[in-house]
Amino acid sequence: MDVQKNRILFLLDRFEQGIATPSEMEELDAWYNSFEDEITPDLTDAQKQISKQRLFNQLDQLTAEQPKKRRLHWASYASAAAAVLLLIAGIALFRPSSKLEKEEVQLALTADVAPGGDKAILTLSDGRQIVLEDKPDGQIATQGNTTIIKMNSGMLSYRGSTKNNSEVPESQLNTISTPIGGQFQVILSDGTKVWLNAASSITFPSQFSGNVREVSTTGETYFEVAKLKNRKGKIPFRVSTGQQKIEVLGTQFNINAYGDQKQYQTTLVEGSIRISRNKQSKLLQPGQQAITPLENETINISEADVEKAIAWKNGLFKFDNTDIISLMKQLERWYPIEVVYDGKIPDEHFFGKIDRNYTLSEVLKVLQLGQVHFKIDDKINANGKRKLIVTP
């Protein structure tokens, strides 16, 4: 046993230094593909990180070889799931046991829940509401000098007139809101692109005018801000989230500002933004994240996992040492479910990626690899949700 552990540690060290031979890489890959718990060595933090990266790389190769499907059947997904998921509490992945296979069968017999999709409600300045997924492509409304067009599923475009923008009433504000299980994209009149995650909203003028562009958001949004100039110079773009304000000149960034969380997270992908909160103000550089706790008035800057922050925009859940409660909050926003805990809340942390197009049962089958168990109630409650029960 010790000899085998030492051999694996030796191979990991060789890989970390970039000097592993092709035969050693094959031996290391063979170990990744076996994952018998009894031979898993005690790894250092650095080696655990290497192991995780290797697993993620293997998943990318596995999924690239398969045709893209909205729902990938579990039989063909099992090998990919074993590669992506899950280093639980820093321990290497393992193959599904016979016990897990029985749980999969039981789960398959329960009611399934479809994933979310392109859903949103547009509220015009006069209070009229338009359910966007019900509308065909084409012009759906006008606001002043602006035409609102549904370009294709999941995208709305505001096309302004070349007339004098100073005549546009400031009160002509529109709001796009996504429900639980919804997402949507809008191109504002200045060319700025905005992606809305589930249970999110953005309020904005139908056509920008003057020397500043201002919008407000809730939930989670991703921005690609268009650069604009007038005679006075660059026209700033400002985003308000309630407890913080963000000013940009042309950049890409993600705002996570759900009200049921303890903090806001703003992640800068490209360009520069300034975060302001009461009397504080801090500048972010690309790859940084601003964390603003709701319980105090601080702004904390740290290096960001950009891929994780914008995974939702790219159609993924990404977990990186994510606890079960935080993970379930993400699922509650994407699937019409109410999560309850039966007994002690499992003390597990998850690493990995899961496609947001999978049904709930497909996601839960993957999570069961982490020895967390689930039941889905067949009944739909008054809020149109099924109850998901988490057990140790």
* Domains of the chain and CATH, by start: 2-85 (no CATH), 117-309 (2.60.120.1440)
State the pLDDT confidence band at 211, using cuts at 50, 70 and 90.
Answer: confident
Closest CA to 292 of 319, 336, 255, 320: 255
Cα–Cα distance for residue pair 195/121, rounded to 1 Å: 14
Q: Find the mean pLDDT for residues 184-201.
A: 97
State pLDDT tens for residues 160-182. Answer: 865 545 554 555 899 999 999 99
Q: Tens digit of pLDDT for each residue in 272-323?
A: 999 999 888 999 999 999 999 988 889 999 999 999 999 999 999 988 888 8
Q: Is the pLDDT of residue 17 over 50?
A: yes
The separation between CA 390 and the C-alpha centre of its own chain, rounded to angstroms, equals 22
Instruction: Provide the pLDDT for residue 183.
Output: 97
- Residues near 317 by Cβ (< 8 Å), separated by ≥ 6? 311, 327, 330, 331, 334, 353, 354, 355, 356, 363
| pLDDT at residue 203 is higher than 60 | yes
Please report, rounded to a whole number, the percentage of residues in the chain having pLDDT higher than 70. Answer: 72
Average pLDDT of the segment spanning 106-134: 85
Average pLDDT, whole number, for the chain?
79
Q: Is it the case that residue 34 has pLDDT exceeding 90?
A: no
Among 125-129, 203-207, 232-236, the range scoring the smallest mean pLDDT is: 232-236
In whole angstroms, what separates CA 79 from the centre of its chain? Answer: 23
Highest mean pLDDT among 12-16, 104-108, 329-333: 329-333
Query: Which pLDDT band holds residue 215 (cuts at 50, 70, 90)?
Result: very high
Question: Which region among 108-112, 241-245, 335-339 has the lowest average model confidence (pLDDT)?
Answer: 108-112
* pLDDT of residue 350 exceeding 70: yes
Contact predicate 236/212, CB 8 Å = yes
Main-chain phi, psi angles of 264, to 5 degrees: -95, 150
109 backbone φψ class: left, alpha, beta (φ>0; ψ -120 to 50): alpha
- Is beta strand 386-391 parallel, antiparallel or unpaired with respect to 337-341? parallel
Question: pLDDT at residue 204 above 90?
Answer: yes
Q: Is the pLDDT of residue 23 over 90?
A: no
Among the residue ranges 16-20, 67-71, 134-138, the one predicted with the least confidence is 67-71
Model confidence, pTM: 0.74
Burial degree of 150 (CB within 10 A; 0-12, 13-18, 19+) = buried
